[in-house]
A and B are shown apart, each in its own frame.
Chain A
Amino acid sequence: MSATTYGWLVLAFPLIGFGINAVGWRVLPGRAAGWIGTAAIGLAFASAIGALVAILDKPVESRELTSTLYTYAAGASLDVKLGILVDPLSVFMIVVVSGVSALIHLYSVAYLASDRGYARYFAYLNFFVFSMLLLLLAGNFVLLIVGWAFVGFASYALISFWYRRNTATTAGMKAFVINVIGDVGLVFAAFFIFRELGSFDYLTVFAAAPQHFSTNQGVVIAICLLLLVGAFAKSAQLPLHTWLPDAMEGPTPVSALIHAATMVTAGVYLIGRTFPLFELAPTAADISAFIGLATLLFAASCALAVTDLKRIIAYSTISQIGYMVVGVSIGAYAAGFFHLMSHAFFKALLFMSAGSVISAMAGTQDIDRMGGLRKAMPFTAVVMVTGALALAAFPGTSGFFSKDEILAFAAHRGGFYWIFTIGGYIGALMTGFYAFRIIFRVFWGEPVAEARQLEHGHLAHAEPANPMTGEVEDTDVGFPGAEHHIAERDRPMWLAMAALAFLSIVGGAVQIPGLDDLITKFLHGSFLDSTLYEQLPSVAADWEGLGVGAVIALLGIATAYLVYVARPGTAAALIRRFRPVHTLLVNKWYFDELYDALVYRPAIAVGRFANDVVERVVVQGVVAVVVDAVRGVGTVVRGAQSGFVRAYALLLVGGFAALGLYFLIVSS
């Protein structure tokens, strides 16, 4: 089969899985829905591997394949097709996305087993994977926008999955609204592209752009900035990041899949996909890189202080996506996408481990209440340490090779790009610290009651409560219901986490500088026209960067060890010493409060004004006048409606007679 056939199959399997689960939710017994969903994604992954093999058979210059199912709209100047583009970049992405998705589906099979919305969950999840793959395989901007909006909806549906929880539905709405801001940016960008170049098709647009635009022309910068609005909303970059920490209201595997490994990297994919435009607008690319840098530092600083386990990892996600955005914006495409892949592995792993820990703690997410779980759940402890090592870029892990390669590229690029190297290393120091803050707080220290119980084989149970507000949950929602599932006891969770732990460690082997550079070589087919792609730093410079990165990672980990294990009182002392800084970080730099004051309150005030003045006085006043007029006229005319049929007949005959008379008089 050809690569494009595999591409269509990749889309078809999740859609079929979604259809079966969505229609058959009432009749599917036990865990059937979960296994159907997992099988669908597994088949999609197999097809993605098929596409990879098929595309590797072709010479590097001709690896951009398109295929069209049918034409939506064809006119004099409009040509929109339901078509896919299978090229090294999209194949790379679908392999990563479908692979990680398959493992997370596997994990969910056990993790959500006691949830009453089990089939609904898998229907949503399959729909999400379908939409994400559609976004990645789209061959034109129209189909991209379709996939983009679909993943936004899937994200909304899954954040609000426990719909009896008020905090969850609010978080879902927040995510949806901010994503729609991004959608608007993307739609406008597509509109401008069409107006300038007369096409929505990727390959046509990218071929025509260099002739049509001069470098840094106003319109191409505008297009790129609009694309960035879309990318930043989806990828939770400043200033559109506030939805992602709240998105942690969804089930933990959803956080792993959508809000860490796949959907939030769509913005990175978009920037990489439209690189010909960004290379024509270096100003926009630099803006993007600086925002990425600001985001990665900001989010890493928040992760230092937040105490909710899932929100720490969420801020870490924002920070790591900042690295990717810096990478693809400064031209380190291969390194950026390599980091996307390794991040998908270790961040999904961290979330899965967090899910296991939260289950063991009977739903508690606050790391202040955790401790000493190492003996009680050895497997979770080992894989979570693995994930944290990869996140902290410990030498030899996947995160080590990918993150430091971006920074090495920035150093090599010259000019002011050294800022990104320095900033990136500062971020890396914080990353090492907060990654092991989680580990030391959760697994080291004095075992808490739940941990001691679990050591004796009793999984803690508690009255289900909302981890944010402490309210008692409506157990009709299902989870967090009667059962909790931890990796030590559930084979599917164990399997998924073991696979990801393995990948987090060895995933870096695909791109060791000077040794194989597989990703650089493979993605080259998509970046043939790039002027920056081949400006790679020398192998020696790469290793220099890796060396510095290793030292910084170890420094961060060692500091965390010092603060949380060697001298346990240090953290509290630091908080007392730097009270204002801590307050700032715990409140996430007051972004939510800022938006509350800038957007929410003015909108409410306008709404109240419209209600009090426009609606009550103007609209209802006009309505009252009209109603009175109609009623008055009606009262007068009602007298004619006597109900006497013969009176009506008389009026009819009399009317005709009068009319006849009138015409007689007029005609004579």
Chain B
Amino acid sequence: VDVTWYVVLSAVLFAIGAGGVLIRRSPLVILLCLELMLNAGNLALVAFSRAHGNQEGQVFALIVMVVAACEVVVGLGLIVAMFRRRLPLNVDEMRGLRG
């Protein structure tokens, strides 16, 4: 299969993820969409790696997975903390950054 299909799939997944991040209000879903974006990136990396016939892209993909794991830990930790403190699980209501 041509590498183009993989890249197209990756782009579609990334767009879905980005759209989810922008549209949804639940922090949990936003986290899921972030994962989706990361894995879209991974897919592109692996596809290019195969097309070029070397392993560099795969190494990058592994590193991205590690980063994603860390990010999930922090993100889920934040969400649990929000839940415990009975804060609203809605990112639009968390406006502490307003200038």
Q: Which residues of A come within 8 Å of B, CB atoms?
A: 637-646, 648-650, 653
Report B-chain residues with C-beta under 8 Å of the C-beta of A649.
Answer: 21-22
Q: Which residue of B lies closest to A641 (CB)?
A: B99
The answer for the CA separation of A277 and B25 in the assembled complex, in Å, is 88
In the assembled complex, how far is the CB of residue A667 from the closest CB belonging to chain B, in whole angstroms? 17
Contact between A640 and B99 (Cβ–Cβ < 8 Å)? yes
Report A-chain residues with C-beta under 8 Å of the C-beta of B69.
Answer: none
The answer for the CA separation of A653 and B14 in the assembled complex, in Å, is 11
From A638, A645, A650, A653, contact of B99 by CB (8 A): A638
Contact between B98 and A646 (Cβ–Cβ < 8 Å)? no
From B22, B94, B95, contact of A650 by CB (8 A): B22
Contact between B91 and A646 (Cβ–Cβ < 8 Å)? yes
From A637, A639, A645, A650, contact of B97 by CB (8 A): A645
- Most chain B C-beta atoms within 10 Å of own C-beta, residue among A637, A638, A644, A645: A645
B 55-96 binary contact with A (CB < 8 Å = 1; else 0): 000000000000000000000000000000000000110111
Contact between A646 and B99 (Cβ–Cβ < 8 Å)? no
Given contacts A642-B99, A644-B92, A653-B18, 13 further A-B contacts (CB under 8 A): A639-B99, A641-B97, A641-B99, A643-B94, A643-B95, A643-B97, A645-B91, A645-B94, A645-B97, A646-B91, A648-B97, A649-B21, A650-B22
Q: Which residue of B lies closest to A656 (CB)?
A: B18
Q: Pull 6 A–B residue pairs with CB atoms less than 8 Å apart, ordered by A.
A: A643-B95, A644-B95, A645-B91, A646-B25, A646-B91, A649-B22
The answer for the CA separation of A650 and B23 in the assembled complex, in Å, is 10
Report B-chain residues with C-beta under 8 Å of the C-beta of A650.
Answer: 22
From A638, A639, A640, A646, contact of B22 by CB (8 A): A646
Q: Which residue of A lies closest to B97 (CB)?
A: A643
Interface residues of B in 5-37 (CB under 8 A from A): 18, 21-23, 25
The answer for the CA separation of A637 and B97 in the assembled complex, in Å, is 14
Nearest 5 pairs of A and B residues by beta carbon: A643-B98, A641-B99, A643-B95, A638-B99, A645-B91
Report A-chain residues with C-beta under 8 Å of the C-beta of B94.
Answer: 643, 645
The answer for the CA separation of A210 and B91 in the assembled complex, in Å, is 87
Report A-chain residues with C-beta under 8 Å of the C-beta of B98.
Answer: 641-643
- Could you count the A-B residue pairs with CB atoms below 8 Å apart for me: how many are there? 36
Q: Which residue of B lies closest to A653 (CB)?
A: B18
Contact between A646 and B18 (Cβ–Cβ < 8 Å)? no
Report B-chain residues with C-beta under 8 Å of the C-beta of A641.
Answer: 97-99
The answer for the CA separation of A641 and B98 in the assembled complex, in Å, is 5
Report B-chain residues with C-beta under 8 Å of the C-beta of A643.
Answer: 94-99
Q: Which residue of A lies closest to B34 (CB)?
A: A649
In the assembled complex, how far is the CB of residue B35 from the closest CB belonging to chain A, in whole angstroms? 15
Report B-chain residues with C-beta under 8 Å of the C-beta of A642.
Answer: 95, 98-99
In the assembled complex, how far is the CB of residue A649 from the closest CB belonging to chain B, in whole angstroms? 5
Report B-chain residues with C-beta under 8 Å of the C-beta of A648.
Answer: 97
State the interface size on chain B (CB cutoff 8 A).
13
In the assembled complex, how far is the CB of residue A575 from the closest CB belonging to chain B, in whole angstroms? 80
Report B-chain residues with C-beta under 8 Å of the C-beta of A637.
Answer: 99
The answer for the CA separation of A308 and B23 in the assembled complex, in Å, is 91
In the assembled complex, how far is the CB of residue B26 from the closest CB belonging to chain A, in whole angstroms? 11
In the assembled complex, how far is the CB of residue A593 from the closest CB belonging to chain B, in whole angstroms? 62
The answer for the CA separation of A646 and B19 in the assembled complex, in Å, is 11
Q: Which residue of A lies closest to B24 (CB)?
A: A646
Contact between A646 and B92 (Cβ–Cβ < 8 Å)? yes
In the assembled complex, how far is the CB of residue A633 from the closest CB belonging to chain B, in whole angstroms? 13
The answer for the CA separation of A224 and B19 in the assembled complex, in Å, is 85
Q: Which residue of B lies closest to A640 (CB)?
A: B99
The answer for the CA separation of A383 and B97 in the assembled complex, in Å, is 83
Report A-chain residues with C-beta under 8 Å of the C-beta of B21.
Answer: 646, 649, 653
Q: Which residue of A lies closest to B37 (CB)?
A: A653
The answer for the CA separation of A648 and B95 in the assembled complex, in Å, is 12
Report A-chain residues with C-beta under 8 Å of the C-beta of B18.
Answer: 653
In the assembled complex, how far is the CB of residue A526 from the closest CB belonging to chain B, in whole angstroms? 77
- Most chain A C-beta atoms within 10 Å of own C-beta, residue among B21, B25, B94: B21
The answer for the CA separation of A643 and B92 in the assembled complex, in Å, is 8
- Most chain A C-beta atoms within 10 Å of own C-beta, residue among B92, B95, B98, B99: B99
In the assembled complex, how far is the CB of residue A652 from the closest CB belonging to chain B, in whole angstroms? 9
The answer for the CA separation of A570 and B21 in the assembled complex, in Å, is 107
In the assembled complex, how far is the CB of residue A538 from the closest CB belonging to chain B, in whole angstroms? 96
In the assembled complex, how far is the CB of residue B40 from the closest CB belonging to chain A, in whole angstroms? 13
Q: Which residue of A lies closest to B95 (CB)?
A: A643
Report A-chain residues with C-beta under 8 Å of the C-beta of B23.
Answer: 646
- Most chain B C-beta atoms within 10 Å of own C-beta, residue among A641, A649, A650: A649
Q: Which residue of B lies closest to A634 (CB)?
A: B99
Q: Which residue of A lies closest to B98 (CB)?
A: A643
The answer for the CA separation of A150 and B23 in the assembled complex, in Å, is 73
B 39-62 binary contact with A (CB < 8 Å = 1; else 0): 000000000000000000000000
The answer for the CA separation of A406 and B37 in the assembled complex, in Å, is 99
The answer for the CA separation of A646 and B98 in the assembled complex, in Å, is 12
The answer for the CA separation of A124 and B95 in the assembled complex, in Å, is 61
Q: Which residue of A lies closest to B99 (CB)?
A: A641
In the assembled complex, how far is the CB of residue A170 from the closest CB belonging to chain B, in whole angstroms? 53
In the assembled complex, how far is the CB of residue B55 from the closest CB belonging to chain A, in whole angstroms? 27
Q: Which residue of A lies closest to B15 (CB)?
A: A653
The answer for the CA separation of A662 and B32 in the assembled complex, in Å, is 30
The answer for the CA separation of A182 and B95 in the assembled complex, in Å, is 65
In the assembled complex, how far is the CB of residue B13 from the closest CB belonging to chain A, in whole angstroms? 15
The answer for the CA separation of A638 and B25 in the assembled complex, in Å, is 24
In the assembled complex, how far is the CB of residue B82 from the closest CB belonging to chain A, in whole angstroms? 13
Report A-chain residues with C-beta under 8 Å of the C-beta of B95.
Answer: 642-644
Report B-chain residues with C-beta under 8 Å of the C-beta of A645.
Answer: 91-92, 94, 97
The answer for the CA separation of A655 and B20 in the assembled complex, in Å, is 17
The answer for the CA separation of A642 and B96 in the assembled complex, in Å, is 9
The answer for the CA separation of A639 and B99 in the assembled complex, in Å, is 7
The answer for the CA separation of A642 and B93 in the assembled complex, in Å, is 11
The answer for the CA separation of A649 and B22 in the assembled complex, in Å, is 7
- Most chain B C-beta atoms within 10 Å of own C-beta, residue among A637, A639, A641, A646: A646
The answer for the CA separation of A640 and B98 in the assembled complex, in Å, is 9
Report A-chain residues with C-beta under 8 Å of the C-beta of B92.
Answer: 644-646
Report B-chain residues with C-beta under 8 Å of the C-beta of A639.
Answer: 99
Report A-chain residues with C-beta under 8 Å of the C-beta of B22.
Answer: 646, 649-650, 653
Report B-chain residues with C-beta under 8 Å of the C-beta of A638.
Answer: 99
In the assembled complex, how far is the CB of residue A500 from the closest CB belonging to chain B, in whole angstroms? 78
The answer for the CA separation of A236 and B18 in the assembled complex, in Å, is 83
The answer for the CA separation of A607 and B23 in the assembled complex, in Å, is 64
In the assembled complex, how far is the CB of residue A289 from the closest CB belonging to chain B, in whole angstroms? 76
The answer for the CA separation of A649 and B25 in the assembled complex, in Å, is 12
The answer for the CA separation of A638 and B91 in the assembled complex, in Å, is 20
The answer for the CA separation of A644 and B91 in the assembled complex, in Å, is 7
In the assembled complex, how far is the CB of residue A478 from the closest CB belonging to chain B, in whole angstroms? 58
Q: Which residue of A lies closest to B94 (CB)?
A: A645
Q: Which residue of A lies closest to B21 (CB)?
A: A649
The answer for the CA separation of A438 and B21 in the assembled complex, in Å, is 97
